[in-house]
A and B are shown apart, each in its own frame.
Chain A
């Protein structure tokens, strides 16, 4: 009888001891950060979601990060819009923007919107720092989180349900 937790509970498990697992968690945080920051009516968001799924990134971290950074994005709207406006109205870049806007599908990304452009630039700038910071964070605090989670009522409840279903399946 296999009493190992199922795939759902494995999503909750922070394998702090495994380097490549921490990297996946950090990548999830980075992509989730980009998804969270960019306004949702942009074609960039579904592209990032596909990227999240296709990469080795952790989906739950991506989800949590996107939710967190959606809120942060709204808080930083004033700053990001100014940044976006600065870039979009730059005379040097104008011809490039016009060229890009004439390309198919790109207008659906709404890159010409100050909020989209500002947040996209911010996401690009924060991508590596978030990845690095997340990796360090999971290295340092992963085990504590792991212990806290495995002791939590929810985790125990999920484990017990999955174990029961596995045993029932064997029988």
Chain B
């Protein structure tokens, strides 16, 4: 067997095989890379073109698509071009350590024409997404619509029936009316008795001896009538003292009423600035917080979870790990592309550090620094720590000078405020441990103009509105500090703002002024009421006393005349008899 006949053809065949491999290396590497990434991530990968430089260890990819393992009809990400600088030393150890990679023109969530589901099954089934509710629940201290209405109840308000003066005046009036009626009846009785006595006297003869009994009775009647008149007169005269006592009672009641009215003046503020803040800013702030949290949710959902998403494909056998290094590590990943969020397209660029398919093995959290350019520049700095049992994510988002259209805040019926177009700066610091949320968000709305359009009449209406509007003219920015807690799907928030303080101060001033005015009006009304009652009682007293006295006085001369009709010798009647 000679070399020419045996070894040479085989070596030639081998060289030919290597040449074929070299020529088809791009295709082979492309398929090997796709297969490797798919094996390690469990997500379908498409690469249109691949080029590489063996000397520098660089790989260039064009039109890269990675399917979303949770949604096969959409891409997790799509990049128009990518360059990967691999560490050749680590590559010899079957480790894809990317020193620097650039993904340009990235798009997230783009639809796929064909399903991205891999035919082969992953080692484990994907867990069901835990996100169920996207409603933000808030906790108000009070219902905002109710406490403006409550203010009316807290304002000092007395009706006449509640005044003691009024009740005592009515009582005195009733008492004196009854009393005068009795005296008037007595006077009338005396009058009628006098009329009867006149009739009796006319019927009597001039001779007392013949009608001695009648004369005797007539005489007694006259004496009784005179006594009655005297009694009535004395009673009327004594009424003056009683009337003065009643007047004093009424005056004392007035003093007590004045004290009650003064006691109802509430010196403490009726409106709490926190409540006003909630009334004015709850809806707006809630909406903004919901949007920001929807960003966070979208960001978390878009980012693959190494634990659940990057599952190796089930192949022959199982790999026994002898080294605690992840299969793929990106030391530095430059990103740029387009995104769409809240119906807004935006360009973004930035860098990600220490991204790996197995952060637990890698031992470092991933850091992402992104800058987005939409209407304004959005800054996102995130630390995504997936090393522990629960993912710990920290987000710092800064959005300066976001344009805000004209809007209305507050309650349409009680307190409606128009906010002119302004700029909004948002700074958010958020920490998520698992789904547990803690953090602060500040909304600084500047270059703004506020105008109250509607203010409830209860708290002063137009007068108060104009007063507050004057103060609002000087207000050029609102700072709202929000504290977030709870679950990402059911967050709770507490916020405070200086805007509520301004409104509450003005409303309380206004309300106190209204309360003072009401007290003055009620005191005035009380004084008027008592004065009227006094005047009435005086008038009634005088009229009635005079009337009754007049009635009695007119009878005195008649009685005198009747007395004159009785014979002088009357004293002698018993002797005659």
Residues of A within 8 A of B (CB): 7, 20, 39, 41, 50, 53-54, 56, 59, 77, 81, 84-85, 88-89, 94, 97-98, 101-102, 104-105, 107-108, 110, 112-118
Contact = CB atoms under 8 A, between A and B. Distances in A.
A84 B319 CA distance: 10
Which 7 residue pairs across A and B have the least CB separation, nearest first?
A: A115-B317, A107-B94, A104-B92, A115-B316, A114-B317, A101-B322, A53-B14
B316 A98 contact: no
B10 A53 contact: yes
Interface residues of B, number: 22
A114 B315 CA distance: 11
A113 B14 contact: no
A112 B14 contact: no
Contacts of A113: 315-320
Given A98-B322, A98-B323, A112-B320, A107 B11 contact: no
Q: Is the interface of A mostly helix, strand, loop or mixed?
A: helix
B474 interface: no
Contact of B92 (A20, A81, A105): A105
A116 B315 CA distance: 11
28 contacts: A7-B9, A39-B315, A39-B316, A39-B317, A41-B315, A53-B10, A53-B11, A53-B14, A54-B11, A56-B6, A88-B320, A94-B322, A97-B320, A98-B323, A101-B322, A108-B94, A110-B319, A112-B319, A112-B320, A113-B315, A113-B317, A113-B320, A114-B319, A114-B320, A115-B315, A115-B316, A115-B317, A116-B316
B93 A53 contact: no
Contacts of A112: 319-322
Contacts, number: 68
B317 A89 contact: no
B467 interface: no
Contacts of B315: 39, 41, 113, 115
Nearest to B95: A107
A81 B317 contact: yes
A123 B11 CA distance: 25
A51 to B, nearest CB: 11
Contact of A85 (B14, B35, B318): B318
Contacts of A59: 10
Nearest to A116: B317
Nearest to B323: A101
A118 B317 contact: yes
A50 B315 CA distance: 25
Contacts of B17: 53
B320 A102 contact: no
